[in-house]
Amino acid sequence: MKVHQKLNIQPGRAICYSGFRNGQQPGGIYPSYEEVKEDLLLLHNHWQYLRLFDCDQHAKTVMEVIRNEKLRFKVMQGAYIEAEMNNFNCPWHGGVYSEEQLAINAVSNRKKIDRLIEFAHKYSDIIFALSVGNEACVDWTDHYVPEHKVAAYVQQVKQKAKQPVTFCENYAPWLYKMEQVAHEVDFISIHTYPVWEYKHIAEALDYTKENYHAVAQKYPHKPVVITEAGWATNSNGKGINPEHVSETYQNIYFEKLMQWVEQEHILVFFFEAFDELWKGSHEPMEPEKHWGLFKTDRTPKLAVQHIVQPHAVYEPVF
Domains of the chain: 3-305 (3.20.20.80)
Q: What is the dihedral of CA 120, 121, 126, 127, to 10 degrees?
A: 20
- Is the pLDDT reported for residue 135 higher than 60? yes
- Is the pLDDT reported for residue 318 higher than 80? no
Mean predicted confidence (pLDDT) in 103-130: 98
Give percent of the chain with pLDDT exceeding 90.
Answer: 91
Cα(73)–Cα(49) distance, integer angstroms: 5
Mean predicted confidence (pLDDT) in 185-190: 98
Strand 188-192 with 224-229, pairing: parallel
- The pTM of the full predicted model, rounded to 2 decimals, is 0.95
Cα(137)–Cα(209) distance, integer angstroms: 22
Residue 265 has a pLDDT of: 93
Residue 308 has a pLDDT of: 75
If you write DSSP's letter for every residue of 268-301 in order, what string do you get? EEES-SB--TTSS-S-TT-GGG---SB-TTS-B-
Cα(175)–Cα(248) distance, integer angstroms: 32
Residue 1 has a pLDDT of: 61
- Is the pLDDT reported for residue 155 higher than 50? yes
- Is the pLDDT reported for residue 201 higher than 90? yes
Cα(45)–Cα(181) distance, integer angstroms: 35
The answer for residues whose C-beta is within 8 angstroms of residue 139's C-beta and 6 or more apart is 87, 89, 172, 173
Cα(297)–Cα(39) distance, integer angstroms: 11
Mean predicted confidence (pLDDT) in 214-218: 98
Mean predicted confidence (pLDDT) in 295-316: 77
Among residues 179, 216, 190, which one has the least CA distance to residue 131?
190
- Is the pLDDT reported for residue 307 higher than 90? no
Q: What is the dihedral of CA 261, 262, 265, 270, to 10 degrees?
A: 50
Helix (H, G, I), strand (E, B) or coil at 78: strand
Cα(234)–Cα(247) distance, integer angstroms: 8
Kindly indicate the confidence band of residue 316, based on its pLDDT and cuts at 50, 70 and 90.
very low
Residue 6 has a pLDDT of: 83
Among residues 15, 123, 120, which one has the least CA distance to residue 64?
123
Mean predicted confidence (pLDDT) in 25-35: 97
